[in-house]
Amino acid sequence: MKKICVVITNRAHYARGKLVLKAINEHPELELQLIVAGSALIDKYGNIMTKIEEDGFKINKKITMLLEGGTPTAMAKTTGLGLLEFSTAFENLEPDIVLIRGDRYEILAPAIAASYLNIPLAHIEGGDVTGTIDESVRHAVTKLAHLHFATNELSKERILKMGEIPENIYNVGSPDAEFLNSQDLTFNPNEIWKGETIGVGERPDLSKEYLIIIQHPVTTEHKKSKEQTEETIKAIHELKMPTIWIWPNVDAGTDELSKAVRVYRENTEQNHIQFVRFLDPTLFAKLLKNAACIVGNSSAGIKESSFLGTPAVNIGTRQQGRLKDKNVIDVSHDSEEIKGAILKQIKNGNYNQSELYFKPDTSKQIANTLAESKIKVQKRLNY
Amino acid sequence: MKKICVVITNRAHYARGKLVLKAINEHPELELQLIVAGSALIDKYGNIMTKIEEDGFKINKKITMLLEGGTPTAMAKTTGLGLLEFSTAFENLEPDIVLIRGDRYEILAPAIAASYLNIPLAHIEGGDVTGTIDESVRHAVTKLAHLHFATNELSKERILKMGEIPENIYNVGSPDAEFLNSQDLTFNPNEIWKGETIGVGERPDLSKEYLIIIQHPVTTEHKKSKEQTEETIKAIHELKMPTIWIWPNVDAGTDELSKAVRVYRENTEQNHIQFVRFLDPTLFAKLLKNAACIVGNSSAGIKESSFLGTPAVNIGTRQQGRLKDKNVIDVSHDSEEIKGAILKQIKNGNYNQSELYFKPDTSKQIANTLAESKIKVQKRLNY
Amino acid sequence: MKKICVVITNRAHYARGKLVLKAINEHPELELQLIVAGSALIDKYGNIMTKIEEDGFKINKKITMLLEGGTPTAMAKTTGLGLLEFSTAFENLEPDIVLIRGDRYEILAPAIAASYLNIPLAHIEGGDVTGTIDESVRHAVTKLAHLHFATNELSKERILKMGEIPENIYNVGSPDAEFLNSQDLTFNPNEIWKGETIGVGERPDLSKEYLIIIQHPVTTEHKKSKEQTEETIKAIHELKMPTIWIWPNVDAGTDELSKAVRVYRENTEQNHIQFVRFLDPTLFAKLLKNAACIVGNSSAGIKESSFLGTPAVNIGTRQQGRLKDKNVIDVSHDSEEIKGAILKQIKNGNYNQSELYFKPDTSKQIANTLAESKIKVQKRLNY
Amino acid sequence: MKKICVVITNRAHYARGKLVLKAINEHPELELQLIVAGSALIDKYGNIMTKIEEDGFKINKKITMLLEGGTPTAMAKTTGLGLLEFSTAFENLEPDIVLIRGDRYEILAPAIAASYLNIPLAHIEGGDVTGTIDESVRHAVTKLAHLHFATNELSKERILKMGEIPENIYNVGSPDAEFLNSQDLTFNPNEIWKGETIGVGERPDLSKEYLIIIQHPVTTEHKKSKEQTEETIKAIHELKMPTIWIWPNVDAGTDELSKAVRVYRENTEQNHIQFVRFLDPTLFAKLLKNAACIVGNSSAGIKESSFLGTPAVNIGTRQQGRLKDKNVIDVSHDSEEIKGAILKQIKNGNYNQSELYFKPDTSKQIANTLAESKIKVQKRLNY
């Protein structure tokens, strides 16, 4: 049995990666090891421990590692602490492969720990191009990783160009798109909130056209977090449409961003916006599919929305360079531009489903590749 | 004044990088900040604090961070600890650029700390290809770095291929070659040891043909350290030539390697080998220039020796892929092969000076580029 | 010049310790070194960097070290991280004495770092007896410290009983009481808020009788934080008096406590409570002196209020065992009990000034003792 | 089942604590959890992993945490790293009680981690009085611990005086004495070395009168390590008796001490001294029982030797204050004094067995107490 250690450091990691965990768990030659760490353990960012256990996965190790402050230093130290702890975890769990995903800053910790311990590293979502520190993190991880699961053809080619060995690079499609494809997304606006406790305040009327907002700080511009957020708030405030606003990730700039949201919330009379910390992934998928528009700078506005055909307004540099379909309109941090683009998207209505990020059997392909691949620990640039 | 923070984590870093420090120190628009960390602070690996201060440099910060054990876990944790500490150091020193060099595992710590704190990162010696974990570290650093000082044309091209922006990549030649070129390497075998305390045991007669051995562990093969070292020892023992054996770096496998050397030293009657921990860089250069052959897997056997024309026998995979001139013979970990290659090199004698790694004014070019470059903190893959 | 390194890890540390910093700064034989760390650097807990610099102190080093989560593990890791960082800081700053204060969990970090580096440790506020983890921390620090500045006679005696050497134990009174004594506490209810931005929401009418609430989590009972807080909220809600509620420290249980407050604030129509994060110390002193009653479990309700004669209702075990004057009524976590005690205190009105914690020239005595004391680094139990 | 987590950070911890592990393992109401950390994992200090597993204990977790350098900073950082890691370990293992032993600097790490996580802490060997940093560590641990297993009556009384609660303090005797009492110590000088690989060099003739040397650095005097060691070496060199010299612990000063030994060993013609890193505990007991004298500053020269009646010469301040029987002569770091005392002890010959540190059933008493005690997590000074 090959031991595959999957690292989850973030609520979204889990939501989007569930099918991969399942495919590994069910593969006859693979044994799943699960480490839950960082913001995934923090209640206010949506502690997912209970959900994971309800879904039937065993957690092998919890790692408390998130520093407070929402500053670049806090990000760097969270990663340093993670590196210390993942080293111990891997030394004790002795996995055959470590599997990580994405480009959040803290994943360099398990990436380095695995590399230095001579444990082959597999990485989902390499080769994309975006803004923020994620851009540096993602490609650095590619240079440490042995097995690359790109989510689209363009990214696969970029990984190849960066000098990785062709037989270790796969385009398996995005687990996010696969997840969406696997869900019953029937939408009943009157039943949607039932049994969910998703935040304080009145709930917006989803039988009308509504918006979803997800705006993360851009770490490389973290000092502008407040003003960037205020532009989005201004646009949304003026539109007065029912809106679901989802809290940001924990990055440098999060505190300024959250503060801007909080100041607005506490000082402004409004009852059309519902602020939520964390949504069950299926619920989120339903809401996204039926939204008039998703607004902000989350990759959900590029990847998931392309598959669902949801119109998207993408603000600023965070997703700059990422492969986009025509459902996305790019705008800068300007409330008028944002408002204009939203109105244009609403007028346009839904787009056709895009196959840019979709392939069938993404998770099974990942599991099979993990089971079959023979990896050479010593890496070598392919030119 | 631009503040340039140079990180030194290793005795060899300092020895080879002195001219760069000097050029920064003397540049009218640059202010040098110096952090000395890791094995550079440990007496038994050649504490260089005193030498640095004698050379007139001010040390802004010392960071104790090296874990004991010579294991992959110790390497990973040293890096994690370094990441914590460099974050604090950079937050407090507020440099405009961080300058690092090479590919030792611990340099990912200052590289990540600088990136995450949005401080531009400059890197000397990117783009080379070798074996061991250094190969992964080097390219991961390239993906985090903003300014690349390659030491040869081939490496410059590789950095370009990896997607870095052309105007940020320079081939400035190797600071090692520049350093050698700047020294008076006149050799008087009778005076060479004068005033130097370089280790215990009898000193070999350097008026005869002599060997220099530097063999580091290969972290990706760290469990074979003992047997790999024993092959080298066997060859050297049988040759009975005057030999200077320099202790290895602190990597995974160091303890096994050192133990093999120690067992040999304590159990075998011999007086032709002098074991030394650290040599003054000028003394080392003189010894290398006049050596009949350098043996092992140090980059000194590829880079410095090519410039000096010293015959070299390169053992195993550690330097696999690195740009080599004809003064190098590659062999595997086999005492007979090693012995054979050494004898062949001795017979051949010295080679012509190679310009593969040499360019005039390396250090000045680095300093000028640091002073003039306008760096965009947000990185972006160039394809 | 003796270098005295003062460690500040908490907004309250600074507010209360300013006179000590000043006395050290002004002493002809002492040089002040200042390290600001932990929650003192976090905006949402009241970043005090600007205030410190406005007050004319130079900050030698900032240390980001606070883990998020408000859990026991986060407390322990914050301390671990602090221990790593204070070791580096002390190794680089080379103080002659490290001065710390109080019993918050993170002060074991500088205490151990100083001890292990053979730097004499001076400690203010040892010998008190209370509940929560502070009780263990405080006495452990006493066993590491070389110089003890107790704030009252009883505590001085306890330190002696614990086996510390008599000539190193001083009762200098409390810096808090000294600080209060030094301030002009004239109170004008209409001008009090002027120029202060202290939080969102309407400001309570302070020309009427008003309450101050400070309730911290009890780490050893951290799972009861929510229900304990709800009892206090219930009592305050029913009294409908103008109330200033000050946010708690960052300890295990903080998040649950804050959540209970937040849920109340967002779900209940009320305009008599003002929630504030941090108050300027002089403003706080004025408010406390004129409050009808201080309620909760802060030491301010025991120490400062005794000096000011303010009636206090002390809830639960957190201050159990601490030396109290007759201005304090102890109650358990029961809304009826709390309400009853508050009403009783309001009826009673102000008490006479207590001298339990007051001595003139506290700060000067501390500075003089630091300057004159000859400390033996090797500790020895005095029986 | 109560889960008892035992922490082993040092080869000697294990050797001496085996019976305690066994008693916990065999107790019907206890479940043993074992963490092996620090120098116990480092080969050159005597990696004991294999021995532990051969003895039938399951290791729940390994923690690499030892910093290199043998400096005060390295000690402090090892402890800081340990605090981070033990927090994770305890959070994941969820023990009911953590059991630690002794006074080595790194045990403050598990002590704080357990306290802060509200896990009751049990401590063996509190209340002793000695020199070096151990003195501070030991009493600080007592103030964090809930259950105290003193090894002698005097120490029990001291713990009581320090304000601990009487019903939580037990004098159970020393596990070391119990261990000695349980072993067959029959000595056959010709068979003693059989099958043991204990170091390089010739083996001394143990049919003659022989010495055992164990000299550790004194962290509070770590800059004198070299000269202190040279005095001992001088005395031993001149006596020319068969000698077994056991390498020191890893503390501040270790490197200087080891260097002094190494310089002597490599530069001096002698064949009467055998240097060894680690001895099997039973073998050590046999050697100690039959030694003409034990010399140095190890607690083995005070505790074990008193029980065995072996004459001891105790050098310097490290054991100052520890309860001693008449088999010990105290001397200062002076080669003449040391030599004189050794000769006097040899002349005197063996002493009677002392009961100072011995009680029958030490381990069973510890296990039973762990099983039966009801511990209140909230500590409180008992006066």
Q: Would you say the C-alpha torsion D94, D99, D105, D108 has a positive or negative sign?
A: positive
Mind telling me how many Å the CA of B260 is from chain A's nearest CA?
A: 22
Structure ipTM? 0.94
Task: Considering only the beta carbons, identify the residue of B118, B133, B219 that sits closest to A72.
Answer: B118
Are D68 and B263 within 8 A, CB to CB?
no
Grouped pLDDT means (10 residues each) for chain D, 383 residues: 95 84 97 95 78 93 93 96 98 98 96 98 97 96 98 97 98 95 88 61 83 92 90 94 86 80 80 81 91 96 95 95 95 97 96 95 98 95 93
Sheet holding A243-246, edge to edge: A273-276, A243-246, A211-214, A293-296, A312-315, A328-331
Question: SS3 string of chain A?
Answer: CEEEEEEECCHHHHHHHHHHHHHHHHCCCEEEEEEEEHHHHCHHHCCCHHHHHHCCCCCCEEECCCECCCCHHHHHHHHHHHHHHHHHHHHHHCCCEEEEECCCHHHHHHHHHHHHCCCCEEEECCCCCCCCCHHHHHHHHHHHCCEEEECCHHHHHHHHHCCCCHHHEEECCCHHHHHHHHCCCCCCCCCCCCCCCCCCCCCCCCCCCCEEEECCCCHHHHHHHHHHHHHHHHHHHHHCCCEEEECCCCCCCHHHHHHHHHHHHHHCCCCCEEEECCCCHHHHHHHHHHCCEEEECCHHHCHHHHHHCCCEEEECCCCCCCCCCCCEEEECCCHHHHHHHHHHHHHHCCCCCCCCCCCCCHHHHHHHHHHHCCCCCCCCCCC
Q: Which of D62, D81, D91 sits opposite A92 (nearest CB)?
A: D62
Instruction: Please enumerate in sequence order all residues whose Cβ is within 8 A of that of B377, keeping only pairs 6 or more positions apart, or say none.
Output: A220, B118, B120, B146
Sheet-wide strand order for B293-296: B273-276, B243-246, B211-214, B293-296, B312-315, B328-331
Chain A interface residues (partner D, CB cutoff 8 A): 61-64, 81, 84-85, 87-88, 91-92
Query: How many contacts, defined by CB atoms under 8 Å, are there between A and D?
Result: 27
Backbone phi and psi for residue A283, each to the nearest 5 degrees, phi listed first: -60, -45
Kindly determine whether residue D43 and residue B266, on different chains, have CB atoms separated by under 8 Å. Answer: no
Least confidently predicted of A327-331, B278-282, C26-30, C125-129: B278-282
Answer whether residue B198 shows pLDDT above 60.
Answer: no
> Which of B88, B90, B92 is most worth mutating to test chain C (most C CB atoms within 10 A of its CB)?
B88
Please report the sign of the dihedral spanned by the C-alpha atoms of residue A226, residue A227, residue A232, residue A235: positive
Q: Which residue of D has its CA nearest to B40?
A: D69
Structure tokens at C214: 């400070």
- Per-residue pLDDT tens digits for B6-54: 999 987 778 778 899 999 999 999 999 999 999 888 877 667 888 899 9
pLDDT digits (tens, 9 = 90+) for B326-367: 999 999 999 999 999 999 999 999 999 999 999 999 999 999
Is A377–B81 a contact, with Cβ atoms under 8 angstroms apart? no
Bridge partners (DSSP) listed for residue C148: C123, C169
Chain D residue with Cα closest to B78? D67
Q: What DSSP string runs through C254-306?
A: HHHHHHHHHHHHHHS---SEEEES---HHHHHHHHHH-SEEEES-GGGTHHHH
Whole-angstrom distance, CA of residue B192 vs CA of residue C229: 77
Tell me if residue C243 falls in helix, strand or coil.
strand
Bridge partners, residue C273, by sequence: C243
Considering CB atoms only, which of A71, A81, A201 is closest to C81? A81
Q: Minimal Cα–Cα distance from B23 to chain D, Å?
A: 32
Chains in touch with C (3+ beta-carbon pairs under 8 Å) read A, B, D
Interface test with chain D among B42, B61, B67, B106, by most D beta carbons within 10 Å: B67
Contact D69 B65 (CB under 8 A): no
Q: Cβ contact (<8 Å) for D79 and C116?
A: yes
Residue for token pair 């001076």: C122
Interatomic CA distance for residues C71 and A39, integer angstroms: 13
Return all residues near A25 (Cβ < 8 A) that are at least 6 apart: A32, A56, A57
Could you tell me how far CA D229 lies from the centroid of its own chain?
20
Distance (Å, whole) CA D267 – CA D284: 28
Which residues from chain C sit within 8 angstroms of residue A80, using beta carbons?
A: none
**Contact D63/A87, CB-based, under 8 Å?**
no
**pLDDT tens by residue, B94-112:** 999 999 999 999 999 999 9
pLDDT, tens digit (0-9, with 9 covering 90-100), for B152-176: 999 999 999 999 999 999 999 999 9
- Compute the count of residue pairs across chains B and C with CB atoms less than 8 Å apart: 27
User: What is the spatial distance between Cα C262 and Cα C257, in angstroms, rounded to a whole number?
Assistant: 9
**Element of type H or E holding B13:** helix B11-26
The crossing angle, in degrees rounded to 10, of helices C11-26 and C281-290 is 120
Residues 6+ apart with CB under 8 A from B32: B4, B6, B21, B24, B25, B57, B58
Closest partner residue to A267 (CB to CB) among C73, C200, C263 is: C200
DSSP, collapsed to helix, strand or coil, labels residue D220 as helix
Relative orientation angle of helices C108-116 and D72-93, to the nearest 10 degrees: 140
Chain C residue with minimum CA distance to D74? C87
Kindly determine whether residue A136 and residue B158, on different chains, have CB atoms separated by under 8 Å: no
Residue in chain B nearest D202 by alpha carbon: B267
Chain A positions touching C260 (Cβ under 8 A) are none
Chains that touch D (3 or more CB pairs under 8 A): A, B, C
Nearest to B81 among D39, D81, D250 (CB): D81
The stretch A215-243 carries a mean pLDDT of 92
**Integer Cα distance of B236 and B272 in angstroms:** 10
Kindly give the interhelix angle for D281-290 and D175-182, rounded to the nearest 10 degrees.
80
Distance CA D11, CA D41 (A): 9
Query: Considering CB atoms only, which of B62, B84, B92 is closest to C84?
Result: B84
Q: Which residues of D touch A (CB under 8 A)?
A: 61-64, 81, 84-85, 87-88, 91-92
* Partner-chain contact C143 D136, CB within 8 Å: yes
Closest CA relative to residue C379, chosen from C144, C136, C119, C149: C144
* Span C2-173+359-372 CATH architecture: 3-Layer(aba) Sandwich (3.40)
Q: What is the pLDDT of residue B258?
A: 82
| CB atoms C64 and A67 under 8 Å | yes
Residue C256: closest C-alpha in chain A: A43
The answer to whether A64 contacts C73, with C-beta atoms less than 8 Å apart, is yes
Q: How confident is the model at residue B195 (pLDDT cuts 50, 70, 90)?
A: low
Which of A58, A85, A88, A116 to probe the D interface (max D CBs under 10 A)?
A: A88
Share of chain C above pLDDT 70, in %: 96
Give the whole-angstrom CA distance, residue C239 versus residue A94: 60
Residues of D in contact with A87 (CB under 8 A): 64
Looking only at Cα atoms, what is the longest distance across chain A? 61
pLDDT of residue B194: 63
Distance CA B347, CA B350 (A): 9
Q: Can you state the angle between helices D134-144 and C134-144, rounded to 10 degrees?
A: 160
The more confidently predicted of residues A45 and A130 is A130
Distance between C63 CA and the closest CA of chain B, angstroms: 6
Domain ranges across chain A: 2-173+359-372, 211-348
B131: closest CA of chain C, how far (Å): 33
CA distance B341 to B192: 27
- What pLDDT, in 10s, does the model give residues A85-123? 999 999 999 999 999 999 999 999 999 999 999 999 999
**Which of the four CATH numbers 2.60.120.10, 3.40.50.2000, 3.30.420.140, 1.10.287.1120 does domain B211-348 have?**
3.40.50.2000
Residue C361 scores a pLDDT above 70:
yes
What local confidence, expressed as pLDDT, does residue C259 receive?
Answer: 83
What count of CB pairs under 8 Å joins A to B? 158
pLDDT tens per residue across span C126-174: 999 999 999 999 999 999 999 999 999 999 999 999 999 999 999 999 9
Residue C197 has pLDDT above 60, yes or no: no
Interchain CB distance below 8 Å, B131 and A380: yes
| Sequence-ordered alpha helix ranges (H) in chain D | 11-26, 49-54, 72-93, 108-116, 134-144, 153-161, 175-182, 225-239, 254-267, 281-290, 303-308, 335-348, 362-372
Name the residue of chain A whose CA is nearest to D88's CA: A63
Angle between helices D225-239 and D254-267 (to 10 degrees): 40
From the CA of D247, how many Å to the nearest CA of chain B? 16
To the nearest 10 degrees (0 to 180), the angle between helices B134-144 and A134-144 is 160
Q: Tell me if D2-173+359-372 shares its fold with D211-348.
A: yes
Count residue pairs from B and D with Cβ separation < 8 A: 52
- Alpha carbons within 13 angstroms on the beta-carbon side of residue D77 total 33
* One-letter-per-residue 3-state SS of B352-382: CCCCCCCCCCHHHHHHHHHHHCCCCCCCCCC
The tokens for C157 are: 């005696």
* Average pLDDT of the residues of chain C: 92
Dist CA C115 CA D367 (whole Å) = 33
**CB-CB under 8 Å, D64 with A92:** no
Q: Do D88 and A87 touch (CB under 8 A)?
A: no
